[in-house]
Every structure is written in C-alpha cells, then in structure tokens.
C-alpha cells in the first residue's frame, strides 16, 4: 500500500503524463518549474535531477520521519486569512506566550507556508493554535481554518525528521536540472546538483515560500506577456494561489488533474 505522500508524488507524475497527451509539445517546451512542498521532489524528477525510483524512496523515508516526529510531539496546522493591518509577528509571539506552561516551556508557532498576500499557514503546538483561533481577531485574523493533517509540518517540530532527510540526501545521486527550477524553500533558482541537495535537506522543516516562489517565476515587465503555465494535480489549490499572487499568470494557466 502506498503511503499518502507517495500517492501524491505518483498522482502528480501521472498528471504530468496526462499533460503530455492533452497539451502536446507544451511539457517539452517548459522554461521553468516549481513544486509546493513534496511537489518540489516531483519537479526535480521532471527536471531530470532525481530518478523516479530514488524520489519514491526519499518520499517514503521523509513521510515516515515526519509521522515519527509528529508522534513524538503532537502539533497541527492552521490556515489564517489576515487583514491588511494584521500584526503577524505579535500574533505569533502572543500565542506562544499564552501557550507557555510547566509542561510546555518552549511552545512553537511559526509560519509554515506563505500562500498569497493575506493568507498564511501556521504550524506548531495545538495549545498555541487554539489561542489564535480564540483570540486572533484582535490582531488581524479575519478567518482561520484547521488543516486535516497529522502534525506541525514545515516547522521546528519537524527538526528530527529533517535530520533524517538530510542524512539520506547526502548520499542521494542528483544531476543538474535540465530546466530552471525555483525552490519553494527560499524562492531561489536551483541550477546544479549541489543546490538541489541543499534545498532537499531543508524541505521538511523550513517554511514553504510559495508566494515568493511565484513572484520569482513570473517577474517580468508589466507589458510583457505571461508564459503559459500547466498546473499539475491533485486538486486546484495551487492554481488558486497563483490567481491571488498574479492574476495575469493565472489567465494563462490550465489545470491538469487526475
């Protein structure tokens, strides 16, 4: 049986093959690629930097390590929609302080994903998340919604899992990407195997800087046309974030779901 993470990787690669059939030539003419969290591993496979077999093994290891870290210290994730004058730094600090107790002397609450302006995903200890749900409106939280996940992914609570991934990545054969790849770890281009290795080592506990990566991908003079974009499934969430970050790029995009 596939673990959930492996199933997502396989499904995304299946969507890529479907895109080859539906958009003949478009996939071969790709000028840049990016992937959200686990999707970065998919992007590395597409770009020829990582073999499918090794990507599957790495995904299985990463998923198991993340589940083990979550079992060791429970946590969760919360999407927040923020007012323009929201005080995010104060919100995080206040939630951590409110969660502090003898049994939790060092609470964790951080931004785990930057989705688009005014929308972030927080990750950390459940006690801090519950404080944001109760009291966040005073600091600019317009709405909050829990994610149905089993841990505080892309946060310091995944440090042990990141150590396991980093150890595995050291010996992982990688090649230079055949197309430019913008990493969701830091929104910087990945042009060689060493750069890919550094990003993979940080992919588990570092925040997902998706909004910043989209800005990097689509930055061009205002009068210049946006490139045609193929968004691969499962789900339409990532294409929806593109619409919030760059509506002109969204207009020139299609979703291939499976």
Q: Which residues are catalytic?
A: 37, 154
Q: For the stretch 105-131, what's the b/e string if a residue is b when 16 or more beta carbons lie within 10 angstroms of its beta carbon?
A: eebbbbbbbbbbeebbbbbbbbbbbbb
3-class DSSP state of 184? coil
Q: Hey, what's the torsion of the CAs at 158, 11, 239, 251, to 10 degrees?
A: 150
Positive or negative, the CA dihedral 41, 44, 49, 54 is positive
Q: Which two tokens stand for residue 68?
A: 């083990």
Q: Please report, for the chain, how many H helices and E strands are present, in that order.
A: 10, 8
Buried b (16+ CB within 10 A) or exposed e, 159-170: eebbebbbebbe
Retrieve residue 64's tokens.
């198991």
Q: Which residue reads 């440090």 in tokens?
A: 159
Tell me the CA distances in angstroms from 162 to 58, 61, 81, 125, 156, one per residue in order: 12, 11, 28, 18, 9
Distance CA 256, CA 235 (A): 9
Element (H, E) at 190: strand 189-190
């Amino acid at each position: 049986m596939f673990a959930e993470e492996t199933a997502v990787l396989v499904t995304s690669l299946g969507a890529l093959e479907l895109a080859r059939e539906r958009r003949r030539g478009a996939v071969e003419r790709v000028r840049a690629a990016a992937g959200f969290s686990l999707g970065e591993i998919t992007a590395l496979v597409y770009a020829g930097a990582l073999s499918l077999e090794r990507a599957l093994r790495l995904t299985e290891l990463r998923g198991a390590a993340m589940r083990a870290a979550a079992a060791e210290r429970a946590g969760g994730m919360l999407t927040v929609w923020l007012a323009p004058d929201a005080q995010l730094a104060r919100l995080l600090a206040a939630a951590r302080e409110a969660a502090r107790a003898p049994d939790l002397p060092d609470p964790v609450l951080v931004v785990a994903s930057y989705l688009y302006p005014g929308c972030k995903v927080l990750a950390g200890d459940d006690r801090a998340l519950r404080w944001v749900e109760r009291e966040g409106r005073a600091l600019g939280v317009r709405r909050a919604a829990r994610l149905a996940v089993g841990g505080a992914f892309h946060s310091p609570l995944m440090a042990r899992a990141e150590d396991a991934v980093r150890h595995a990545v050291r010996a992982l054969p990688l090649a230079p990407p055949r197309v430019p790849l913008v990493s969701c770890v830091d929104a910087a281009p990945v042009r060689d195997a060493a750069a890919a290795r550094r990003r993979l080592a940080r992919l588990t506990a570092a925040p997902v800087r998706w909004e910043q990566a989209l800005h990097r991908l689509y930055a061009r003079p205002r009068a210049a046309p946006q490139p045609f974009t193929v968004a691969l499934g499962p789900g339409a969430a990532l294409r929806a974030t593109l619409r919030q970050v760059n509506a002109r790029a969204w207009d020139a995009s299609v979703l291939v779901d499976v």
